Structure 1
Amino acid sequence: MTSFQQILAPLGGSLLVSALCAAVPLIILFVLLGVFRVKAAKAALASLLSSILMAILIWQMPVGQALSATAAGAVYGVFPILWILINALWIYKLTVATRWFEALGNTIRSISNDQRIVTILIAFCFGALLEALAGFGAPVAVSAAMLMATGMKPLKAAMVSLLANTAPVAFGAMASPLIALNGVTGLPLRDLSSMVGRQTPFLAVLVPLMLVFIVDGRRGVKQTWPVALVAGAVFGLFQFLTSNFLAVELTDVVASVAAIGAVLLMLRFWQPSQILTSSGETDAGHVGGASVISAAASGRPSAGHGNMARGPAAASVTESVSASAVINPLSVTHKRPTARSVWMAVAPYLVIVVIFSISQLPAVKTWLGHVGTVTFRWPGLDVVDAVGKPVANETFHLDHLKATGTLLLFAGLVTTAIYRIPFRQAVRIYGETLVQLRWTIVTVSSVLALSFVMTLSGETATLGVALASAGGFFTLLSPLIGWLGVTLTGSDTSSNSLFGPLQIAAAKQIGLSPLLMAAANSSGGVLGKMLSPQNLAVAAAAIGMEGSEGTLLRKLAGWSVVLLLLITVLVFLQSTPILGWMVP
């Protein structure tokens, strides 16, 4: 087979014109998604077709190699990416099919009837746990529904659920975004995990404070900042520790469980000076009022950051309710489930932690790597870059036993046994999972195929060299590129697959750290999740207010931009000697 060498400027030797042409598949994808509202699967297929045609006609890639690159990307999309998503969502659906998922929700809701604390527990902590497994809108839908059940107004429930679904996204669905980034860039997964784990924890510290502000304004921050700070700091700390020193796949599971535990422990010794039991705002078609349980009547100070409480009966309280206020009966504290119910509810997550921990034991890890890995050169590919060096995407690693998806499959089987779910029902639920993800399967496979075609043909290299002309300014553009990718595709996995190679190409040209720029794509991308049309639609449907997507977009755009600016400043400082020591 004749070796194909990439061409950086195939159109008349002009890098600018060639780069504009290389951007066409991405422009097609974004225009179809953002302007014409075409379904993601159809938009991805159209973009893939355009990239194949340009690879053959303009970049002069042999037809056979272009088709082989397409197949390689599509297969990588199925395994390991979709293999992870399918089995993770299957476990989630197994829990929903039993009464134990509801028991877990009741456990969280029984802890406090303060709307601000409940928001931190459900939207931030529990939402992150769902993101670890289900992803793809499930955390937003479930969190919003649970918050409404506690008496929160629909729009506010949707807003906090969307905003909370930021910090855990980079490690969501058992680290699928980073596994995809590793596949398209060739950078070590451990290094990518470590770098992102040194960026997103800073977001985690801020997000609970923002959630409290949305729920109750400055008063909420003033009264509940200690518990919000504890939740964010503990989540960020364990996200850093797990991503840097343990298993990247368990990052969100460990961080969310640790955050829940920290909040529960803190509430044993601390309570806010006032308890907000309902929002006080009135949405169209919904009647409600403000009900703040105040400690002032009992002689305790009503102002301040909080009080040390000696239990639920530490002091009597009175309710300050306006004459027109209506107290939602769902705002009262729920009955706490039994210890057995709690253990059964968290069983799937404990099983996952145990199985992944066992897989990381040196002897087990070595054995799985020896018998469970097949490495081969993808047939039909022989590509070198513009300077004659072989590209990384030609080698395919099939980790059939130690793959994250396979370990999740084992965890699902154990969960089935613990919950005593009939095997036939478990298989039926697996089939339902495949049906539910059918368009996601097409989308992810097409996006990965698009990424492989653009990378192997040289289109990505052309774009990267062109963007490198921005020099050091590219450091500020890097998170923005990821943010745009997730905003339009709705997926950090898709954004990393599309723009990971581009970030690497530009970084190498400028002399920046490829690892830092690739991580910036993922970390910046998570902040676009709350604005993506797909996520907005999920949130609107969850609160029963279809058509409110525009309202949610306007209310959340400012928060998204502020967080994007903060992560951009962090990435810039990490590219300089000031914080350069943070780059592995």
Structure 2
Amino acid sequence: MNWSQVINPFNNITLSAFVAVIPILFIFWALIIKRMRGSKASLIATGIALFIAIIIYGMPVKLALLSAVNGALYGLFPICWIVITALFLFNITVESGQFEIIKHFMASVTSDRRLQALLIAFSFGAFLEGTAGFGAPVAITAAMLVGLGFDPLYAAGICLIANTAPVAFGSIGIPITVASQVSSIPEMAISQMVGRTLPILSVMLPFYLVVLMCGLKKTKEVLPAILVSGISFAVIQWACSNFLGPSLPDILAGIGSIISLIAFLKFWKPKNIWRFPNEVSTSITGKKKYSTGQIIRAWSPFILLTIMIVAWGLQPVKEVLNSFGQIEFKFWGIHNVILSADGKLISHVFKFNYLSAAGTAILISAIIAIPLIGLNFSDGVKIFMLTLKQLKFPVITVTSVLGFAYLVNDSGIILTLAAVLANTGSLFPFFAPVLGWLGVFITGSDTSSNALFSKLQAVTATSIGVDPVVTVAANVSGGVIGKMISPPSIAVAAAAGNLVGKESELFRFTLKHSFIMLIFICFIVLLQAYLFSWMVPGYHLLTAEISYINYDLSLGSRYLLVLAIILIIFMITIKLIKNRVNKKPVRKAQYD
């Protein structure tokens, strides 16, 4: 027996919206006012959402519970799987002592905290977002900054804020691909529209980050480096999104920004080296020298990560891996049972792609790296178990928030709020990014937000005479701003920065900046809708028929063979370097 979603349970959209927003307002209250632990706040919010879904929206108890369980399962895999493996890779680097060499390398490039934040949080984080996505960029970059000596709260907060502009093109462009499938607008057109919005933010973001760290006066001291970092990233992001499509902007822009800034720092240095006030003096100086081989060996886990993630992102490789390592099943009791507002059955299919998941690529990278950086596999097992212990509360937070997200989606609660925004008439383009922001805040994923709202964005824009690509792209662009305050992202950043239990502080740190950037994007979209129509690309809507590409599995197999050869050559190279190293780095690690 089917159950139909309810959007306006009180037959009064204002009253219905007031009730629908209660669990969301609770999250804000719990984290900002009550300063509640993230895991506790998310569990209570899920309980409130269950009550509203069952009592107010009339959702059957069984469906409500199954919806929450389905979301929690998605939170465990692939999201928590990525975060666990990413922090595991970082932890083995620390435990082996190789991160001490990375510290010295970063100090040799620049010991200025402002520039280190640009290189790692902004540029390297963007690269990781383009390859792995989900929680990996924040998990790895926040942990790296803390390892370099950054204040944990600032490290986590800066990485969350930096991980905005890249999110739209994250995980090989999947968010835009999903928006295209749902809205019937070609993904190239959406990519071009987003690529004419976010580069504006990308130019400003490095400046914003540094001002946040040290104030305007100290920011002026490194303005040339900020311009190099931001402009190089924005230009490459714009060019790739407009001429190559949504798959490569983050990867190429991240690499280009890193190379540009490092090259620039060879010829220019700030007059004053800035560190955090009252920062404890570290032993990192320019006196201790490491060979190029030692530096390559220290970075080897992250080089392996890059190679593996890029290979895992290739569709032919995914096809081969899924043919051997994927379990797909229809979620019992809820699949094709709920009727959406437009009368379509909502599918609930869980794909356990344990081989092609990005988390598996990260784990393989870590396993290969273990002997290369001077550890044995028994050490690796111990570090993995310590990593699981380190992440026990963030895992609870992520799974409960995803259960909450699935529940508000399936019950129609989130559609009530969307209906209110859709009724704003000619002002809808201004509020279109808010819808994407809200979707990412709840789900933690720009992809999920686009799947949820892209059709509504397109239909509403058409009804008021605005080109639908403007509002669909606004959903994508607005969504990236919601990432920094999304409870799953907060949980990941807190875990990486040793701030478990202090999620409320991190939420308070990022909230204001999320609102500032959101309003900025809202005004840009409003101008694009009515004044800057020349920015809107030309396109034709996709036909209703969807063509599926049948990939040749032999092509994926050849790619994997090439990958294996590259990995073997790399391992031999690192082994040769290791044999030349006379002194082993001192092991040092700390887990909470």
Q: TM-score range by the shorter chain?
A: 0.7 to 0.9
CA contact (8 A) 2:436 2:474 kept: no
Q: Note the C-alpha offset of 1:386.
A: 2.5
Q: Note the C-alpha offset of 1:442.
A: 1.3
- The two structures have a TM-score, normalised by structure 1, of 0.72
Q: Structure 1's 130 and 110: CA in aligned 2 closer, same or farther, altered over 3 A?
A: farther
Task: Tell me the equivalent position of 1:522.
Answer: 479
Task: Tell me the equivalent position of 1:567.
Answer: 521
1:261 to 259, 262, 276: 259
Task: Tell me the equivalent position of 1:304.
Answer: none
1:27 to 25, 28, 32: 25
Question: In the TM superposition, what whole-angstrom CA distance separates every residue of 1:299-322 from its partner, at most 9, and x where no partner exists?
Answer: xxxxxxxxxxxxxxxxxxxxxxxx
Name whichever of 127-136 and 40-49 sits farther off: 127-136
Task: Tell me the equivalent position of 2:444.
Answer: 494
2:329 to 373, 376, 399: 376
Q: Structure 1's 259 and 454: CA in aligned 2 closer, same or farther, altered over 3 A?
A: same
Task: Tell me the equivalent position of 2:537.
Answer: 581
Alignment partners' CA distance in 2, 1:355 and 1:540 = 25
Letter in 1 for 2:477: A
Alignment partners' CA distance in 1, 2:497 and 2:8 = 45
Name whichever of 195-204 and 565-574 sits farther off: 195-204
Alignment partners' CA distance in 1, 2:3 and 2:45 = 23
CA contact (8 A) 2:354 2:360 kept: yes
Task: Tell me the equivalent position of 1:341.
Answer: 294
Task: Tell me the equivalent position of 1:143.
Answer: 145
Q: Note the C-alpha offset of 1:524.
A: 1.9
Q: Structure 1's 76 and 251: CA in aligned 2 closer, same or farther, altered over 3 A?
A: farther
Q: Note the C-alpha offset of 1:96.
A: 1.4
Q: Structure 1's 538 and 571: CA in aligned 2 closer, same or farther, altered over 3 A?
A: farther
1:277 to 245, 248, 273: 273
Alignment partners' CA distance in 2, 1:194 and 1:349 = 31
Mapped pair 1:444 → 2:398: yes
Q: Note the C-alpha offset of 1:35.
A: 1.9
Q: Note the C-alpha offset of 1:426.
A: 1.0
Alignment partners' CA distance in 1, 2:402 and 2:198 = 24
Letter in 1 for 2:342: V
Q: Secondary structure at the match of 1:28?
A: helix
Task: Tell me the equivalent position of 2:79.
Answer: 81
Alignment partners' CA distance in 2, 1:29 and 1:178 = 30
Mapped pair 1:18 → 2:16: yes
Q: Note the C-alpha offset of 1:232.
A: 1.9
2:227 to 226, 229, 236: 229
CA contact (8 A) 2:71 2:399 kept: yes
Provide the aligned length of Structure 1 versus Structure 2: 518
Task: Tell me the equivalent position of 2:457.
Answer: 507
Question: In the TM superposition, what whole-angstrom CA distance separates every residue of 1:503-542 from its partner, at most 9, and x where no partner exists?
Answer: 4475256234574243134222246589x98799899989
2:105 to 104, 107, 120: 107
Q: Structure 1's 480 and 218: CA in aligned 2 closer, same or farther, altered over 3 A?
A: same
Letter in 1 for 2:295: V
Alignment partners' CA distance in 1, 2:341 and 2:142 = 44
- The two structures have a TM-score, normalised by structure 2, of 0.72
Q: Secondary structure at the match of 1:396?
A: strand
Question: In the TM superposition, what whole-angstrom CA distance separates every residue of 1:255-307 from its partner, at most 9, and x where no partner exists?
Answer: 54443322222233x325x621357x9x5x689xxxxxxxxxxxxxxxxxxxx
Q: Structure 1's 474 and 437: CA in aligned 2 closer, same or farther, altered over 3 A?
A: farther
Mapped pair 1:410 → 2:364: yes
Question: In the TM superposition, what whole-angstrom CA distance separates every residue of 1:343-393 from its partner, at most 9, and x where no partner exists?
Answer: 1122122212222333345643432243344443221111111331122x4
Mapped pair 1:359 → 2:312: yes
Alignment partners' CA distance in 1, 2:103 and 2:486 = 24
1:66 to 59, 64, 67: 64
Letter in 1 for 2:383: I
Question: In the TM superposition, what whole-angstrom CA distance separates every residue of 1:440-477 from its partner, at most 9, and x where no partner exists?
Answer: 11111111111111111222222221221123434333
Q: Structure 1's 176 and 46: CA in aligned 2 closer, same or farther, altered over 3 A?
A: farther
Higher relative contact order (CA 8 A, sep 6+): 2
Q: Note the C-alpha offset of 1:143.
A: 2.7
Q: Secondary structure at the match of 1:367?
A: helix
Mark the runs of 5 or more structure 2 residues left unpaired by the alignment: 462-467, 542-592
Alignment partners' CA distance in 2, 1:345 and 1:55 = 51
Task: Tell me the equivalent position of 1:51.
Answer: 49
CA contact (8 A) 1:127 1:165 kept: no
Q: Structure 1's 126 and 462: CA in aligned 2 closer, same or farther, altered over 3 A?
A: closer
Letter in 1 for 2:4: Q
Percent identity for Structure 1 against Structure 2: 27
Q: Note the C-alpha offset of 1:119.
A: 5.3
Q: Structure 1's 74 and 533: CA in aligned 2 closer, same or farther, altered over 3 A?
A: closer
Task: Tell me the equivalent position of 2:388.
Answer: 434
Alignment partners' CA distance in 1, 2:66 and 2:491 = 31
2:343 to 365, 388, 394: 388
Question: In the TM superposition, what whole-angstrom CA distance separates every residue of 1:193-252 from its partner, at most 9, and x where no partner exists?
Answer: 88766654433322333455567777766664333222223334555678896996x976
CA contact (8 A) 2:478 2:518 kept: no
Q: Note the C-alpha offset of 1:549.
A: 6.2
Task: Tell me the equivalent position of 2:162.
Answer: 167
Q: Note the C-alpha offset of 1:339.
A: 0.4
Q: Secondary structure at the match of 2:310?
A: helix
Alignment partners' CA distance in 2, 1:412 and 1:276 = 38
Task: Tell me the equivalent position of 1:315.
Answer: none
Alignment partners' CA distance in 2, 1:122 and 1:224 = 16
Q: Secondary structure at the match of 2:473?
A: helix
Alignment partners' CA distance in 1, 2:91 and 2:192 = 30
CA contact (8 A) 1:111 1:333 kept: no
